[in-house]
Every structure is written in C-alpha cells, then in structure tokens.
Structure 1
Amino acid sequence: MMSDINTQEQNKLSGEPLELERKFKTHCVDLASARVGGETLSCSDDFFAGMENLLKEGRGIFIDGKFTDRGKWMDGWESRRSYGRDNGREFDWCIVRLGIKGVIRGFDIDTNYFRGNAPQTVSVEACVSDVQPNKSTVWHTILKEVSVDAHSQNMFEITEDTSWTHVRLNMFPDGGIARFRVYGEADVNWNDFVDGELIDLAYIKNGAKALLVSDMFFSDKNNLIMPGRGKDMGDGWETKRRRDPGPDWSIVKLASKGSIEKVIVDTCHFKGNFPDTFKLEAMVSDSDDFTNGAQEDKWQPVIIQTKLYAHREHLFLSEIIPDNTQAFTHVRLSIYPDGGISRLRVFGKTGF
C-alpha cells in the first residue's frame, strides 16, 4: 500500500461554485481563520479527528495507511457514528469564535477526502456574544439545513447584513468535514480606538482587503495584511521572477478612509529574494475595480521609489509625501522588479 500524502485526487471546483469562491476570495476575508484569531471552542464529539483542524490552512490532506488508536487518521473534524437519535445526539455540532466580528457573505464547507464518512446535510447558526456561548445563548439560523457532497467544496452564499461574533456548524447526523471557511467583511468598532490614535489601516482585522495583485505565484496576496510578522518565507506575498524591469504590485483597500502618517514595509525571511526597491501610491475612490488598468490616473505618490534590504522591518515617516490632512481609500505597493514582502503596515487617522 502506498504511503504518500494525497495519493487520491482532490475534487476541484468548476463553473458557478468556482466563480463564487473567486468572489469570496476577492471581496471578503475568512473571518474564522486561525490566522486572524478564529478558534474552535467546543463540539459535540470529535472522536476520530479534532475540531481544531477545521480552521487550518489549505484543504486538508490524506495520508494513505496512516491510523491512530481510534481509527483512520483524517485531516479534519470527524465525529463517531451517532446513528441519529439512537444515542441521544440528533446531530453533531462545533462552535467557532470568529477571529474578526463581521457580516457573513458565504461559507465553504469542505469535505475534502471525506468520501464514505461525510455528513448528509449541514446547517450554520450564528450569535453575538461577549462571552463564550453557553446554554442560554440565542442562536440564529443563517444557513438552513442543506445537502452537501462528499469529498467536495460546498459553497454557499449568504445575503443578510447582520454582524456576528460566533457560528455553530451543524452536521446531520454525524461524519467528517475537512475545512470550514466563513467569508465576510469585518465590522470594526471605531470607538475601540482613542482619539488621535494612529490605526493600521492596511490590517486585515481592522477591515482592510487585499484586492488585486499582479502576481502571487508563490504565496497569497492576503498574507501582506495579516497579523504579526511572517513566520517563514511562505507567510508573505511573493511573486515569480520577472525577466523585465517590473514592477509587480499589490492593491489594498484600506480599512477606512484615512491619512497616511507612518508606513512599515517588512521583508522578514526574504533574504535572497527581497525586492530591490519599492514605491507606494494611494488614491481616493468609491470603486474597487482595478482590472485592466482602471483608475490608473488617480494614483498619487506616497513614498517614491526607495531601496529595500533583506529580512528587515523598514520604517518610513519623513519619506511620506502627503501631509496628514489628506485622506485615502486605497494604496498600491509596487516592488521592483519582483520578489517578496512579508507585511505592509499603513498607519493613519480616520474621521475624514
């Protein structure tokens, strides 16, 4: 028997579900991701595979021939067989605290590699709570019970504008789910910031969005605005090698219209592949459409083309051209000719 990882082919999206995933990944963030503070709090049962796997990166893997003392090792959340009401559990459930409070636009309930042990149907409830949900918590159904396919990404769109702090994923009657993505938009309470405080407007947890990049061959565009410093070279935005002068670029929608008073460009872990130079521009726009060069004439310089260094956090203050009375909604980071940036921080004030 082979023991290679992913010896069985993954089921990939196509058609309308693929377009829905692209929409979510372009215009939303994963509010439940462990990287932004999402956490599985409790579940009815995770006998075969732990609930914490639900929020991991990727789609989950399969290792042929790998077993634990409880059965087949699976990269997801898997409960024991409950047979419906026979043992007192009508269904299995898992409560997730969102890393970012926000409006939910859709779900990806991925049963990758759960072929003969996927649930028959699922539903999702949500609540707003300042404490860990308990027996008195009032849950609201936001995805009614619906069938799911085994070994598949099951995509669902949500069309309501309520903000939530927690969700409860239910599967009927039992089974396994590899990953759970909660796509949405951050709902930031600006009263949590004191008057005059510099706010990182390019931070995903404050509501920033990485909209469009020229290239993300090696890593995802959203890494640029994630919490903390990158943990390794894969935890950044890195492009493939260009054979022309460049640049590569990334457009970020700021969390709020605001001034730009402090900028950090971090090349953490990028030692032999950091960009030679960078440039930062900004604009004011009520549109997020930058395809095919749209709105190109609106960009104005914030930091002129400037040298970068390997594995370093670069701080820019006096180099910023606009004064603190100017406000912007979007920024564009250009890197020459290519390379990798771990994080971009754009600090400013809101209220314009």
Structure 2
Amino acid sequence: MIEDWFAQNKLSATDALLEQKLKTHYIDLASERLGGETLSCSDDFFAKMENLLKPGRGVFIAEKFTEHGKWMDGWESRRSYGRNNGRDSDWCIIRLGIRGVIRAFDIDTNYFRGNAPEKVSVEACVSEMQPDKDTVWHTVFEATDIEAHSQNLFEIANDTVWTHVRLRMFPDGGIARFRVYGEAYVNWDDFVDGELINLASISNGAKALLASDMFFSNKNNLIMPGRGVNMGDGWQTKRSRNPDPDWSIIKLAATGSVNKVIIDTCHFKGNFPDSFMLEGCISDNDDFTDDTVNRTWTTIIQNTKLHAHREHVFTKEIITEKNQPFTHVRLNIYPDGGISRMRVLGNRQG
C-alpha cells in the first residue's frame, strides 16, 4: 500500500470538539496576525522558525528542495540525537502578540512523518524586554509524547499572565505550526480618562462567540486588527435564500457604551450586504446557542444602507443613550454577504 503523502490527517471526534471549544472561547495569543513573533531558536537548519506562526496547517510539496535538503513548511532542526552541543532538546522563543492567560496548545506536526520530535514541552515567562540568559522560565507544560503528522491538542491549568513562551522539542525534529490558545489580558490603566476604546477588538479581549453562517470565512476576522488584506480576510456568509438576516454575536472586551461604530466592507465589491443593523444586550452568559435564555436585544443602529469596499463611520445613527451599557452586540446583515471589520468604540464602565 502506497501512503498518500499529500493527505492531511483529521482530528478524532473528541479532538474536533476540543478544537472547536478552543477556537470559540479563546484566541491564539501567538498569532502572527496579532503581532506574535519568533525571536530566536537553537537551530532551524532545515526549515525556519518563522513558519511556526503562519496561518493554516502547512503544506507538502514533494519536489521542492533547498540547498539544505527537503523543503518543509514548519520549523525543523538538524539531527542532534540529543547529544550535540550539550543539548537534550531544541527550542524556540516566541513573543506573544497579546499577553494573556494560556489555556491550551495546538502543536501541529502536519507532514512531519519521519522527522517529528518524540516529546515537547512549553515554558513561559514575563518580560518587558527580549528574553536573555538571565530570564526566569517557568514550565507550564511538562515534556509529553506527541504524534507525528498530527494536531496535538493539550489543555493546561494556569492563571498567570505571560508575555513569552519557549517551545521545546526532544531531542530534535520538526513542528509545522504552534498555537497558544488563551485569554487576552488588558491593562485598562493604559487608557486615559475619556478615551474611546474599541470594545470589539480581539486585542482588547473581545470575542466572536457565534455566527449564523461562516461558509466562506471566519467570524473572528471581524474583530482582528488592521484592515482586511483581501476578500478572505473578513466574515462572509453564503448566499441566503430565506428572509432572515445573517448575524454575528460579539462579546465586548468590557461592559461599556457604544458611541461610534465602524463597518468596513474593504474588498467586498460585489458581495457586500445591502444593509446592516446593530443590536446590544446585557448578559452574564456567553452561551447564545440556548434559545431559552431570556435576553432582550436593544437596537443601537437601525437598518442602514451599506456600500461596496468602503469604511463606514456611524455616530449620529446611534439611537441609544450615550452612556447605556452593553456586554454583547449582534451585527445583523441583510440579507447576507461579507464584512471585513467591525469597530465598536465606547467608554468602559465598571
């Protein structure tokens, strides 16, 4: 039997549910899109450390080689057998794009079949500068066996806010991607009194909880920093064939007012929504899959026309009181389409 080298492995039903939980309730603190950065490593002879934080799961190109050997889409060190240079492992230091509490790791060895490490561990530190030889590292995930050519998902229990992590692999080998799932920490003292805060920013701790449809792209793109780089970098639903709008529910970074809203249809030229409406509510429950939970949605902006490939700014259209608090907002789009980004600026309360 000839093995299909181009086939990606699939998660078990249990791990698929875990991955869904991680992507729904947490963010990838090390994401390159959020400013995550690989700083240094012990060795990346075959494949560069920067690949660890790239989007996707990594690819395999059979005919592609470099002067060092087989090209691999990940981080891969040379063979040390745990003896070379006095090291028992290879390591890579990563600065988190958002400092925060770590809840889980996805250590993906996709396409590393005969060159995956035997074990991995993760250490973390708190540092305002780039870690050096004097940095104190704390083990947050003990050395554990991992599977080749697999997503290896691990939950951890740790409530410390970290700024950097150090991924170790024993004794050497390759890892395609590394995700650090957790919750963003925001120092609200960094904001000045009266400053409008983007309460729908993933960098400030907002979360995209649920959407009616994510056929073309993910709801999390709505609250990412910066403008969308292309049409895939937004939230886009399939073409609707029913009268109800598509919607996305965002948990705000903190309870706060809504004083300014930005809806950006950047790159959506032939598939932007005809109009939108924004609603808000107060809720101590983030599970919006349960229809029995009693919530009252308040209209913040009534149904309003949108245009193609444009950043729309709304202030006068907001009909709620200036200081009315909300914990969640629901973006309704009529009847369907794509939104690149949504900003909800207001004052934090409490």
Instruction: Return the TM-score normalized by structure 2.
Output: 0.97
Matching residue within 8, 12, 17 for 1:19: 17
> How much does 1:8 deviate?
1.5
1:245: how far off? 2.3
Pick from 192, 195, 198 the counterpart of residue 194 of structure 1. Answer: 192
Structure 2 Cα separation of the partners of residues 7 and 123 of structure 1: 27
Quote the Cα distance in structure 2 between the aligned partners of 1:292 and 1:187: 28
Q: Contact 1:36–1:100 (CA<8 Å) still a contact in 2?
A: yes
Contact 1:270 1:311 (8 Å CA) reproduced: yes
Q: Distance in 1 between matches of 2:177 and 2:292?
A: 35
User: CA–CA distance in 1 between the matches of 2:239 and 2:312?
Assistant: 23
Superposition map of 1:73-222 within 5 A? 73-222=71-220
Partner of 1:298: 296
Gaps of 5+ in 1: 1-5
Q: CA deviation at 1:150?
A: 0.0
SS in 1 for 2:111: coil
- Kept in 1, the 8 Å contact 2:32–2:54? The answer is yes
Distance in 2 (CA, whole Å) between partners of 1:29 and 1:304 is 30
Quote the offset at 1:292 in angstroms.
4.4
2:303 counterpart of 1:314 = no
Correspondence list, 1:191-340, <5 A: 191-295=189-293, 297-340=295-338
Alignment size in residue pairs: 347
Q: Is contact 1:7–1:63 with CA below 8 Å preserved after alignment?
A: no
The separation in 1 between residues aligned to 2:12 and 2:238, in whole angstroms, is: 26
Provide runs of 4+ in structure 1 moved above 6 Å. Answer: none
Shift of 1:332: 0.3
- Provide, for residues 214-264 of structure 1, a one-character-per-residue CA deviation record: whole Å limited to 9, x for no partner: 111111111000010000000000001111223110000000000000000
User: What's the CA shift for 1:173?
Assistant: 0.3
Secondary structure (helix, strand or coil) at the match of 1:269 reads coil
Distance 1:79 1:205 in 2: 32
CA distance in 2 between partners of 1:202 and 1:93 (Å)? 35
Identity, % of aligned positions: 71
Task: Write the distance in 1 (CA, Å) between the matches of 2:61 and 2:244.
Answer: 41
**AA matched with 1:336:** Y
- Given that 1:276 and 1:308 are in contact with CA atoms closer than 8 Å, whether structure 2 keeps it comes out as yes
Give the counterpart of 1:28 among 26, 37, 40: 26
Matched residue type, 1:117: N
CA contact (8 A) 2:325 2:349 kept: no
- Matches of 1:50 and 1:259, distance apart in 2: 45
CA distance in 2, matches of 1:99, 1:260: 26
| Alpha-carbon separation, structure 2, partners of 1:257 and 1:72 | 51
Summarize the alignment of residues 56-71 of structure 1 with structure 2, pairs less than 5 Å apart: 56-71=54-69
Asked if the contact 1:284/1:329 (under 8 Å) is kept, the reply is: yes
Code of the residue aligned with 2:156 in structure 1: it is: I
Paired residue type of 1:57: P
Q: 2:21 aligns to what SS in structure 1?
A: helix
- Structure 2 gap ranges (5+): none
CA drift of 1:115 comes to: 0.1
Distance 2:44 2:296 in 1: 52
8 Å contact kept, 2:283–2:295: no
SS in 2 for 1:210: strand
TM-score normalised per structure 1: 0.97
CA distance in 2, matches of 1:340, 1:294: 29
Secondary structure at the aligned position of 1:135 is classed as: coil
> How many Å separate the matches in 2 of 1:211 and 1:11?
27
The worse-fitting range, judged by mean Cα deviation, of 341-350 and 13-22 is 13-22
Q: Which residue of 2 aligns with 1:41?
A: 39
SS in 1 for 2:83: helix
Shift in Å at residue 23 of structure 1? 0.9
User: RMSD in angstroms over aligned alpha carbons?
Assistant: 1.1
Once residues 14 and 333 of structure 1 are traced to their aligned partners in structure 2, the CA distance between those partners, rounded to angstroms, is 33
Deviations along 1:101-157, whole A, 9 cap, x unmatched? 100000000000000000000000000000000000000000000000000000000
Opposite residue 21 of structure 2, the aligned amino acid is K
